[in-house]
Every structure is written in C-alpha cells, then in structure tokens.
Amino acid sequence: MCRFWFFVISYPIFSFLLANSARLDNRQTFIVKTQNDLKPSVFKDVESWYSATLSTLDSKKFNSEKMGQTEDVFHVYKTVFHGFSARLTPQEAKELEKHHGVIAVLPDEIRHLHTTRSVQFMGLVDNDRSSNLLKESDYGSNVIIGILDTGISPESASFHDQELGPIPSDWKGECMEGENFTKNLCNKKLIGARYFTAGYEENLDIMINGSNQVKSSRDTDGHGTHTASTAAGRMVPNASLFGFAQGTAVGVAPKARIAAYKICWGEECRESDILAGIDKAVEDGVHVISISIGGTTTRPYNLDPIAIATFGAMTKGVLVSASAGNSGPVTMSVTNTAPWITTVGASTIDRRFPADLILTDGTVITGASVASGNWSSDYTNKFFPLIHGRNASKGQIRSLRSATCMAGSLDEELVKGKIVICDRGGNARVKKSEVVDNAGGVGVIVSNVVPQGEGLISDSYIIPGMLITESASKKLQEYMSSSSKPMGKIVIRGTQTGIKPAPTVASFSSRGPSVETAYLLKPDIIAPGVDILAAWPDSVPPNAIASDPRRSSFNILSGTSMSCPHVSGVAALLKGAHPDWSPAMIRSAMMTTAYMSDAKGEPLLDEQSYNESTVWATGAGHVDPGKAVDPGLVYDITVNDYIQFLCSMNYSTQAFKRFSPKPVKCDKKQNKPWNINYPSISVDFGESRSSVVVTRTVTNVGEGASNYNVTVVSPKGVNITIEPQTMKFNEKGEKQSYTVKIVGDKVSGSLGSIETRLGKLIWSDEKHIVVSPIVVLWHYDLF
C-alpha cells in the first residue's frame, strides 16, 4: 500500500515533503568523493554501492530508490570526479568519511556569478595578422565550448547556424528538454543544452517548479546568454543596447559550437550542480569549459570541489577558463587559482559611455551611464535639487543603509523631486535607481567610495542615473557643502570610442597573489571585461529589475565574467588551429605573447588610480590572439607535473586521493613549488637574502630548425642568470630545458607587508618573442 501511494503522489509534492522533513533533522547537502576501484564486486554498479553505504549510517535508513539513486542522492559523478552528492546531517557526514572507499565528504557551498568592439580591440577583426588565427582555426568550427552558467536563450540571433558544417563527430551530448525548451531549439551552433537543479532544489523550501525559475536550460537571468555569445556568438549587424554601442556584434570564435550547462539559478550556483555540469560537459566531449563563477573566499585545492573537478577535466585534455573575481582592487582577492585553471582578470577597451552631471556653478562632473528611457524633456533639460542618501534617511537617522540607498531606507518627503546621491556598495548599482524611483526621486548618482577609485562601469538605470569616480564624488561633496541650494542635471552623452589609455586594468578585477601559494602568478592573463555588448534574452530586463518594462536583444555588462569568455573563445581558436595542443600549451601561448604596454608603448595602467598596474593585477599581461597562434615556444605541463606541484604543498595521502585514484609518488628533487613548468616564474623569499634555481622546459612549436637567445631583465635587488643562454632546435616538437638562478638581496618591509619585484626573461629567434614574467616576492609574517 505504501509503495502504491509513493507512485501516485505527485513528484513536486513528494519532493517538497522530503526536503522539509530533511530540514527538520538538520540535514545539509554534501559532496562525497569516492575511490571507485574499491567498489566491492557484489554491487553491480556504483549507484547500488552508494545506496548500501548510506544505508549503514545509524541515524537513517536509505532504502528507497528513485531513478537508480537513493532518495537523498541527487547527483552521481562518473567522469572528472567519482562520487555523489547527498543530503546528510553533519554527524552522518563525519561517519561517512570513515567508510571504506570514501575519500572525502565536502560541504556543498554556494558560488556566485562574476559580466563587439572588444573583438576588434583584441585584433581579431580588420587586422591581417590576427585574421590568420581565424582562418587557421576555421573560426573555431571544430571546437566545442561548454558554457557553465545560467543557461541560454536559444532564439538569439547570435546562435544561428547558417553556413555551419556538420556537428563535430566527437560530440556525445544532447539537447535536454525542459520547461519552455524543446529539442528543436538546438541546432548546429547550439549543439547541446543541459540543466542541473538538484543541488539548488535540495536547499530550497520549494521546488523550482513552484518558484519563479524555469526548470530547463532556458536563461531567465541573461548572464549565460551574454557569456556564451561573447565567447562564440555569430555575427549580428545593427546590434546595440537602446542605441548604445551600435554596430556589428560577434563573438571571439564565431563558428565554435556551444553547449550550454545551466548550473546557476539566479545568482546562486551550488557546487554540487557545478560539479555535475563539469562532469557531464567532459563526458559530452567539450574541448573548452568557460566558467564565470567563483567564491568570495578561497580554499585549499584539496577542499575545493571545483578545483578537484577541473583537475579531472584537465586530465581529459579539456581547457578550463575561469573568472578571477570582482573583488579588486583588494590584493590577495583572486579566485579560481588552481594551476590547471586559466584564471582571467578584466581590462577596459577603448570605448566608453560618458554621462555628465552639470552643476549650477558650471562645474561638469563626468561619469558613465547607458540609462535610456522615454523621459520627458523636463527630466533632461531641467536642474533638480541634489540630496545625499545619508541626509534622506527615514526618521532622520543617518545610516549606511540610507547612504547606500538600500531598500526602504529613504524618506519620500525628503527625496521627492530630487536627484539622490548614493554611495556604492550594499546593493546593486542599478538597484539603487529603483530605490530612489520608489521614493519619488527623479535621478540617481552612484558614487565610488574607497577603495574603488577611478573605475567606471556603465549601467542601465531605470531613471536618469550615472556612476561617478571617487575623486569626482569628493568634488561633488565640496560643491554641496558650499552651496545653499545644490542643484544639477544629468546628461547622457551616448557612445564614445578611441578612449585612451586603453587597455587599463579594471578597478574591480581581483588581484593576486594567490592565498594558496605565492609560487603561481595569478591571474594568468587579462582580457576585455568592461562595458561589453553581447546577446541578451528578449524576456529579461537589461538590469534584472523586474519592474523595468524595457527589453533588448543585447546588453552591456562588466565583470571578470565577461573577460573569461573572451579567453575561452581565444582558446577555442587556438585549439582549432592546433588540435594537438594540450590545455597547458594553449594557456602558455596566450601568456608568453601577452602584452604589458598600451598602443603608445606605455606600461598598462590601473583604472583604480591610473598609476602603473602591478603584475598581481595583470598576470602575464593582456591577451593578444594574433601572436598567440604562433608563439614559437610553449611550456607544457603534464598531469604528473601538477601532482608534483601538489606534493610541494604537503598534502596527506588521503588528500592526494581526491585528485588521483592511483598512489602518488612525490619526487623530492622535482616537487619544488617554483619548478612547475609554468610560463611565468614566481618565487617567495621571506625576509632574508635567498637564492633558488628554477627549471623550465620548452617545446618548439614553430619552424623545425631555430636558435633562441635569451635576454634577462632582472628585478630590482635581484640577480638572475640563465643556463644555457642559447637553445638550438632541430625539429618541431623538440623539447629543451634551461635553468634560472635567482639571487635576491634582503628588502626592507613592514610587518605583514608584501614587497614585489618584477623582471622578465625573453627567448627570441628574431621571429618569435617568448616572454616569461619573473616575480620575486618578499613577505613579512604574512604566509
């Protein structure tokens, strides 16, 4: 009778009851890593083994099965990560760790999303040299990019398949049907789509079917559509956001195939679902994974499910490109720092969307905006009173909530008919315009505060609005303090190109050094990530504000979420041009050909202050696709090389099993952290004078016979010698090694500080220039 009742009750109701009963007994979701070669032969498959293992836990019997899994198992991983995700109490999780074949039980944590001309700016259009990359790779037509994000809008013109050839023969994926998403929405461009809800649903009070989310691969957020079209969108003429950035929109690899894996619901991305997406993407046959997602903090690689999963992807030959994070300009804020991940920071391009705040004393304060609406001339031609949010608090109580224009914090009587100044932070910039609008304000000025500096981002406010810099904010406050009746008007100027200097490092782009190790230069590289125009779902407001009636097929976003797919697209082109290159070789080609100076030959600046940028902001430099297709020499990294690097981190035997099911043999001579065969060199000296010998091995991918000579630019206070100083190659594919002896003098510094010195070594055969940054770091009781 009970079994009959189980089948007739509706699935959503049953799941709702199960989820809520689970909460009552303190259950949480966990990711369980297993060693599958230890599965007893009595079990026909891993699912039955997992079920039996869970059934032995004291606090609950796991007897019922659904779709081959226990009720509390909601994901099974089989490709890059062996194991499952399940709902357990903390006590059950601890007990499970003791079981035979269980390597680790990790909490299922939340990750968050990190957002036309950029392709031209990178030299992929109207540039003969760079066009060679497009031609050699056939625009990426045989390469599949897996986009792990919020899904995709399949109807977008950016994903049409006209004049595309057959789907690559190694594709094994599918177009998964779901709510408002049928198989026929996939084509020869969008070749696959899947969605993963279980981890998200296990942590909700109701199922997705009962929420405002769409249970399918359809993008109801916009982020996934934007990143997918940035990486590989087709050419679409007359694209713009309400007339801003008008022109032809095209992705970096316009013929590359897209497979969409929806693993985020809103801005919440459960690690268990991300892991399922990576696992399935590799099984499906993608060549590149693009993931614009990260945490707010970093964890040791052996405790990070994403680092473990992407290690598995790397062993299968899949390049993983990930966003560095948007926590800049704070140092040591970079995320996704595992050495097998290509970590991407953000830069500006030579296009801006200026807006002016004109004050009654004639002062003009310039900021940025793509605000557009059917506003009357009274809004655009008339001066309005100015008031700061902190002076418009409900109950006359000044607070951070009112200063930053948080929901419900503003007094309508004080705000009505005025332009409100809101400090940045607390809530989304565009959300502040909604708060001001609801309180009766007619405009919004969002002000950068320390340490955001001079960085500008253009947003689509629902009322006339703009972002101003930190220095402009101080000027505005001086005016308001000196004026008895401060007034101003907002003028949106439109699109401006040819901006200099460009590129600069975006102020929000997360910075190194990595918390996990100073022996890796992270981010690896930077790429366009500010004010990027790309495809957008027609059903989604451009600013994610539900009350906004405006719609557009394209949107302008900023973030390392936007820089990551630029590099994913470049990686796809390089893979198309060089199918035999490993992920490490592709990353090396991008890093050693990156540039550290702008079009005038001046060092790249940091948008936060417009001072010279640091290597912890730029990594190896700005990606240069045209040069990356023919780098001359590359630094390859094998699975064992990565293992030896992990050996240097003194992981336990149990921790190593999370990366390799086979016993690991650490080589004491090889496993020095500075000896990982990375294109950059980073060493950490502590407080005293030190020396270290670094070994690197290069592979000749250029012409068969060539001679490379080395040039060294030593960091200040450091002496560097290279042996040998000439490398002679007889054939393509030949490998040669060299050593770098680095001797550093003692550098003074305050307690807890980091002192960094930058140099570089350059190998050249007069045709190719192969550059490796050399970073020498002194720390003072910091690590």
Instruction: Specify if 616 maps to a domain.
Output: no
Backbone angles phi, psi at 740, to 5 degrees: -125, 115
Q: Check whether residue 740 and residue 687 sit in a common domain.
A: yes
Q: Check whether residue 313 and residue 248 sit in a common domain.
A: yes
Contact between 375 and 489 under an 8 Å Cβ cutoff? The reply is no
Predicted confidence at residue 134, as pLDDT, reads 84
Domain housing 301: 112-344+532-593+622-628
User: Is the pLDDT assigned to residue 9 strictly greater than 50?
Assistant: no
10 or 552: which leads in pLDDT: 552
Q: What is the pLDDT confidence band of residue 755, given thresholds at 50, 70 and 90?
A: confident
Instruction: Specify if 609 maps to a domain.
Output: no
Q: What is the mean pLDDT of residues 235-241?
A: 95
Q: What is the pLDDT confidence band of residue 112, given thresholds at 50, 70 and 90?
A: confident
**Residue 571 neighbours by CB distance under 10 Å:** 34
pLDDT tens across 496-555, in order?
999 999 999 999 999 999 999 989 999 999 999 999 999 999 999 999 898 999 999 999
Q: What is the mean pLDDT of residues 180-207?
A: 90
Tracing tokens 């993407």 back to the chain, one arrives at: 281
Instruction: Specify if 539 maps to a domain.
Output: yes
Q: What is the pLDDT confidence band of residue 25, given thresholds at 50, 70 and 90?
A: low
Instruction: Specify if 617 maps to a domain.
Output: no
Q: Angle CA(540)–CA(546)–CA(550) in degrees, nearest 5?
A: 55
Predicted confidence at residue 779, as pLDDT, reads 73
210 or 53: which leads in pLDDT: 53
1 or 250: which leads in pLDDT: 250
Q: Check whether residue 585 and residue 572 sit in a common domain.
A: yes
Q: Check whether residue 30 and residue 83 sit in a common domain.
A: yes
**Residue 689 neighbours by CB distance under 10 Å:** 13
Q: Check whether residue 337 and residue 365 sit in a common domain.
A: no
Predicted confidence at residue 37, as pLDDT, reads 84
User: Is the pLDDT assigned to residue 23 strictly greater than 70?
Assistant: no
Q: What is the pLDDT confidence band of residue 778, given thresholds at 50, 70 and 90?
A: confident
CA separation for the pair 82, 283 (Å, rounded): 13
Q: What is the pLDDT confidence band of residue 330, given thresholds at 50, 70 and 90?
A: very high
Residue at a domain's end among 107, 137, 156: 107
Q: Check whether residue 653 and residue 694 sit in a common domain.
A: no
Q: What is the pLDDT confidence band of residue 655, given thresholds at 50, 70 and 90?
A: confident
Predicted confidence at residue 1, as pLDDT, reads 28
Contact between 153 and 229 under an 8 Å Cβ cutoff? The reply is no
Predicted confidence at residue 212, as pLDDT, reads 67
Q: What is the pLDDT confidence band of residue 394, given thresholds at 50, 70 and 90?
A: confident
Instruction: Specify if 514 maps to a domain.
Output: no
Q: What is the pLDDT confidence band of residue 210, given thresholds at 50, 70 and 90?
A: low
CA separation for the pair 494, 243 (Å, rounded): 8
Q: Check whether residue 392 and residue 462 sit in a common domain.
A: yes
Q: What is the mean pLDDT of residues 171-184?
A: 97
Q: Check whether residue 252 and residue 292 sit in a common domain.
A: yes
Q: What is the mean pLDDT of residues 468-497?
A: 95
Predicted confidence at residue 42, as pLDDT, reads 85
Structure tokens at 190: 């969008």
**In the Cβ-directed half-sphere of 192, how many Cα atoms lie within 13 Å?**
26
Specify the number of domains making up the chain: 5
Tracing tokens 């407080």 back to the chain, one arrives at: 687
Predicted confidence at residue 4, as pLDDT, reads 23
Predicted confidence at residue 8, as pLDDT, reads 28
Q: Check whether residue 410 and residue 379 sit in a common domain.
A: yes
What distance lies between CA 554 and its chain's CA centroid?
20
Q: What is the mean pLDDT of residues 41-51?
A: 88
Instruction: Specify if 460 maps to a domain.
Output: yes
Q: What is the pLDDT confidence band of residue 59, given thresholds at 50, 70 and 90?
A: very low
**Residue 373 neighbours by CB distance under 10 Å:** 15
CA separation for the pair 125, 251 (Å, rounded): 11
What value does the mean pLDDT of the chain take? 89
The catalytic site residues sit at: 149, 223, 561
Backbone angles phi, psi at 428, to 5 degrees: -65, 150
Q: Check whether residue 16 and residue 96 sit in a common domain.
A: yes
Structure tokens at 250: 């095209």
User: Is the pLDDT assigned to residue 670 strictly greater than 80?
Assistant: no
Q: Check whether residue 320 and residue 195 sit in a common domain.
A: yes
Task: List the single range of 73-82, 127-136, 710-719, 769-778 with lowest mean pLDDT.
Answer: 127-136
Residue at a domain's end among 68, 86, 107: 107
CA separation for the pair 61, 46 (Å, rounded): 18
**Residues 6 or more apart whose Cβ sits within 8 Å of residue 192:** 171, 173, 174, 175, 176, 186, 259, 260, 284
Instruction: Specify if 420 maps to a domain.
Output: yes
CA separation for the pair 517, 646 (Å, rounded): 11
Give the CATH number, domain containing residue 695.
2.60.40.2310
Sign of the CA dihedral 284, 290, 295, 299?
Answer: positive
CA separation for the pair 383, 234 (Å, rounded): 44
Predicted confidence at residue 61, as pLDDT, reads 40
Predicted confidence at residue 3, as pLDDT, reads 28
User: Is the pLDDT assigned to residue 303 strictly greater than 50?
Assistant: yes
User: Is the pLDDT assigned to residue 6 strictly greater than 60?
Assistant: no
Percentage of residues in the chain having pLDDT higher than 70: 89
User: Is the pLDDT assigned to residue 586 strictly greater than 50?
Assistant: yes
pLDDT tens across 623-634, in order?
999 999 999 999
CA separation for the pair 423, 446 (Å, rounded): 6
CA separation for the pair 245, 556 (Å, rounded): 8
Predicted confidence at residue 365, as pLDDT, reads 97
Give the CATH number, domain containing residue 94.
3.30.70.80
Q: What is the mean pLDDT of residues 122-133?
A: 64
User: Is the pLDDT assigned to residue 64 strictly greater than 70?
Assistant: no
Predicted confidence at residue 688, as pLDDT, reads 64
User: Is the pLDDT assigned to residue 378 strictly greater than 80?
Assistant: no
Instruction: Specify if 603 maps to a domain.
Output: no
Q: What is the pLDDT confidence band of residue 393, given thresholds at 50, 70 and 90?
A: confident
**Residues 6 or more apart whose Cβ sits within 8 Å of residue 18:** 71
Q: What is the pLDDT confidence band of residue 562, given thresholds at 50, 70 and 90?
A: very high
Q: Check whether residue 168 and residue 317 sit in a common domain.
A: yes
Residue at a domain's end among 107, 128, 157: 107
Give the CATH number, domain containing residue 211.
3.40.50.200
